[in-house]
Structure 1
Amino acid sequence: MKRLDFFKEMGGSLFQTVKSVYEPFIQGDLEKIELVTDRSLGISWIPLMSDTEMLPVLELKFIAGRPVIVAMKDSNMQAWNGICPVCSYIITVSTLYSTVKCLNCQKEYNFKTNNGDLQLKSLPVRKRDQAYQIGVVKGDFHA
């Protein structure tokens, strides 16, 4: 083996060793940073559903007593506040037409065509431990 090849192999091997030693520490630090960020932003993560649970295309769920509109597009879970931002009434969901509508102010949104005059507030969703969780910030929901 040539000297240059030997030093290349030693450098690569040393890098892999250092990486394997420090990787758990870095992973732990990333989890700590995520926890601190959630706390500083005031985000609480509430279980939404199991990842094996079947979900229609569009559904209204009550999470911790709050209405949440949940939609599954391909393998992407999305969630929105289920209270009308204009008049604070609970939004009605039509799974047949994939629409949501406020029966008080008559504003609506169609998820198939992605248009409408109802501006929904998106909520953060993450997948942890074989379950979807929804991020709720104090003050996001109002009565």
Structure 2
Amino acid sequence: MNRLEFLKEIKKSLVETVQYACAPIMEDKIEKWNHSLDVLSQLQWWHVANRVSETNKIEEKYIDRQTIILVHDNKKLYAYDGFCPSCKKLLTIVQIDSTCKCMYCEKEYSLASHEKNGLQEFPLKKAEDGYYVGLRKRKSV
């Protein structure tokens, strides 16, 4: 082993050692940062699914007086508001077409195309025990 290879190996070993030593500290800092962001954005996380379905399916959940539409698509999970963005009435899900329709204003929204479908999308996060949706905290009445 020549001197250049030796120095490269020392550098690699030093970087790996620092990463190994700093990883728990950084994970703790990231967890605290995420918690601070949740508090500032007034998000509360609610459990919605244990796992993503293998088959494409759409389901409706009622959480904290809100209707959530969960879309399991190609091993990914999406969460949308269950109310029409234009008239704020409850949406009806049409499983066959992968759409939801407002019976009041008769607008239809595709759940198959996840980009720019017009529905409000809620944040999701994966944890060890399943998937959680982030909803804004409601004020106590």
Shorter-normalised TM range: 0.7 to 0.9
Instruction: Using the TM superposition, give the Cα deviation of residue 137 of structure 1 relative to its aligned residue in structure 2, in angstroms.
Output: 1.5
Distance (whole Å) between structure 2 residues aligned to residue 34 and residue 86 of structure 1: 32
Q: Which runs of 5+ in 2 are unaligned?
A: none
Q: Secondary structure at the match of 1:83?
A: coil
Structure 1 unmatched runs, 5+: none
Correspondence 1:16-95 to 2 at 5 A: 16-51=16-51, 57-95=57-95
State the match for 1:100 in structure 2: 100
The more displaced of 130-139 and 33-42 is: 130-139
Tell me how far apart the structure 2 counterparts of residues 82 and 119 of structure 1 sit (CA, whole Å): 12
- Between 1:80-89 and 1:41-50, the stretch displaced more is 80-89
* Alignment partners' CA distance in 2, 1:75 and 1:52: 6
Task: Measure the CA separation in 2 of the matches of 1:87 and 1:6.
Answer: 69
Aligned-partner residue type, residue 69 of structure 1: I
Deviations 1:19-46 (A, max 9, x none): 1111111111111111111111111111
Secondary structure at the aligned position of 1:89 is classed as coil
Q: CA deviation at 1:119?
A: 2.5
For the residues of structure 2 that align with 1:136 and 1:23, how far apart are their CA atoms?
Answer: 30
What root-mean-square deviation, in Å, do the aligned CA atoms of Structure 1 and Structure 2 show? Answer: 2.3
- Measured in 2, the distance between the counterparts of 1:2 and 1:137 equals 60
**1:50 and 1:132 mapped to 2: Cα distance?**
6
Q: Normalising to structure 1: TM-score of the pair?
A: 0.82
Aligned amino acid, residue 36 of structure 1: S
Deviation at 1:13, TM superposition (A): 1.7
Structure 1 window deviating more from structure 2 (2-11 vs 12-21): it is 2-11
Name the % identity.
29
Report deviation, 1:2.
Answer: 3.6
- 1:3-61 CA distance string (max 9 Å, x none): 44333322222222121111111111111111111111111111111116677522222
